[in-house]
């Protein structure tokens, strides 16, 4: 019992704690709105993964940048760039779809490197640089694909929307790849240096860590995640659209913060995933609640405006809760560290 209590007390100081609580609340909200019998069907779970894997990957990418001390508002249009490059290279050049996906991922990595140059090398404010990149990349998207067009062979999008062995959503493979890569990187110098650079780049530089190099690695990893997200988007829609995803930059930022990530050295991938999960599940629950109201009130209309309004209000409340609890978490963590040092000093004095 004491071990469980100690684990809970320790977890309360973790960055992902608030995101986990909000995610759990959103999950319960969904179960109540849909009913357990409907929510826990493999068809429903598969649909949730298939439609939202791209967004979760985007939030993971944004989380990496926030931990390293920067951000990217153009991350959504970069995902659209992957979609456009993949569709058009297959359609115009006649190359295999898999090769088109590789070129799409490379396009996202190149876009990330360009933004890294602006932010880390030329020292432009990341907020302004990434905002300007939205219009630059959107222009490139429209130049490559003037109007929505193209298609994906049914064998690919059907595979994406399928269940592996009847229990594992095929779309979740992208998440598994991203998590496996992060767990590997976390055990390298990059996994430690990214927190040092995010928390205090001057101190990190004094300790022999290059903030520019670390942020370059962070942007590369983010670019790869955006590439995976773009492929998931392409398989989900089975077509190309050059003007989508612009609002996802702000949404991914909000989701990461809700999960417990702050600007520089505080947070984890788990924080980003919980924040993205909260965002996704709240949207899903609000949709079902409005459908229930529509059935209970004959003749009424379900307006998307009110659905979006209620969703954004709940997200805003989630942001407030995260910001408030995060301050308490940091104070509790600081007090815990001081207490441990004090106990250690007392033990040394006794010896």
β-partners of residue 240 are 149
The predicted pLDDT at position 334 comes to: 53
The predicted pLDDT at position 351 comes to: 56
Domain extents for the chain? 17-340
The predicted pLDDT at position 322 comes to: 76
Asked if 97 contacts 156 with a C-beta cutoff of 8 angstroms, the reply is: yes
Query: CB 157: neighbour CB atoms within 10 A?
Result: 18
How far apart CA 18 and CA 10 sit, in angstroms, is 13
How is 293-310 classified by DSSP, letter by letter? Answer: HHHHSTT----HHHHHHH
Q: Which CATH number fits domain 17-340: 1.10.3470, 1.10.760, 3.10.450, 1.10.10?
A: 1.10.3470
* Cα distances (angstroms) measured from residue 183 to each of 176, 191, 270: 10, 9, 11
Q: What is the pTM (predicted TM-score) of this model?
A: 0.90
The predicted pLDDT at position 337 comes to: 46
Asked if 65 contacts 256 with a C-beta cutoff of 8 angstroms, the reply is: no
How far apart CA 116 and CA 129 sit, in angstroms, is 9
Provide the residue-wise pLDDT of the chain in tens; the chain has 351 residues. Answer: 667 677 776 777 777 888 898 899 999 989 988 888 989 999 999 999 999 999 999 999 999 999 999 999 999 999 999 999 999 999 999 999 999 999 999 999 999 999 999 999 999 999 999 999 999 999 999 999 999 999 999 999 999 999 999 899 999 999 999 999 999 999 999 999 999 999 889 999 999 999 999 999 999 999 999 999 999 999 999 999 999 998 999 999 999 988 888 877 778 999 999 999 999 999 888 888 777 777 776 655 556 667 777 778 888 888 777 777 766 555 554 554 455 455 555 555 555
* Strand, coil or helix: 167: coil
How far apart CA 55 and CA 350 sit, in angstroms, is 55
The predicted pLDDT at position 299 comes to: 58
Angle at 226 between CA 158 and CA 151, to 5 degrees: 35
Alpha helices in the chain, H assignment, sequence order: 2-11, 17-34, 36-39, 42-68, 75-93, 97-116, 126-144, 154-160, 172-186, 189-199, 201-206, 211-237, 248-258, 269-296, 304-350
């Amino acid at each position: 019992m004491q071990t469980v209590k100690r684990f809970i007390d320790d977890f309360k100081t973790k960055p992902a704690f608030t995101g986990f609580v909000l995610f759990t609340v959103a999950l319960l909200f969904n179960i109540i709105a849909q009913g357990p019998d409907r929510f826990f069907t493999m068809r429903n779970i598969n649909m949730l993964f298939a439609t939202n894997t791209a967004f979760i990957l985007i939030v993971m990418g944004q989380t990496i940048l926030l931990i390293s001390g920067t951000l990217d508002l153009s991350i959504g249009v970069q995902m659209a760039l992957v979609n456009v490059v993949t569709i058009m290279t297959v359609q115009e050049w006649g190359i295999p779809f898999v090769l088109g996906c590789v070129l799409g991922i490379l396009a996202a990595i190149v876009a990330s490197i360009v933004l890294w140059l602006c932010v880390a090398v030329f020292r432009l404010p990341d907020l302004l640089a990434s905002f300007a990149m939205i219009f630059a990349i959107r222009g490139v998207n429209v130049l490559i694909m003037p109007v929505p067009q193209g298609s994906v062979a049914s064998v690919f999008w059907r595979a994406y929307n399928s269940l592996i062995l009847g229990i594992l959503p095929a779309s979740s493979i992208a998440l598994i790849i991203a998590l496996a890569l992060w767990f590997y990187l976390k055990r390298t110098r990059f996994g430690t240096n990214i927190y040092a650079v995010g928390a205090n780049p001057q101190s990190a530089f004094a300790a022999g860590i290059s903030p520019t190099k670390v942020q370059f690695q962070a942007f590369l990893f983010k670019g790869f995640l955006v590439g995976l997200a773009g492929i998931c988007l392409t398989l989900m829609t089975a077509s190309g659209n050059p003007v989508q995803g612009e609002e996802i930059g702000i949404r991914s930022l909000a989701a990461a913060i809700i999960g417990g990530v702050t600007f520089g050295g505080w947070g984890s991938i788990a924080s980003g995933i919980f924040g993205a999960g909260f965002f996704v599940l709240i949207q899903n629950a609000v949709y079902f609640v409005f459908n229930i109201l529509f059935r209970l009130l004959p003749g009424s209309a379900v307006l998307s405006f009110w659905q979006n309004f209620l969703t954004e209000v709940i997200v805003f409340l989630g942001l407030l809760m995260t910001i408030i609890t995060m301050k308490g978490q940091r104070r509790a963590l600081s007090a815990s560290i001081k207490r441990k040092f004090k106990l250690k000093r007392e033990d040394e004095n006794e010896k």
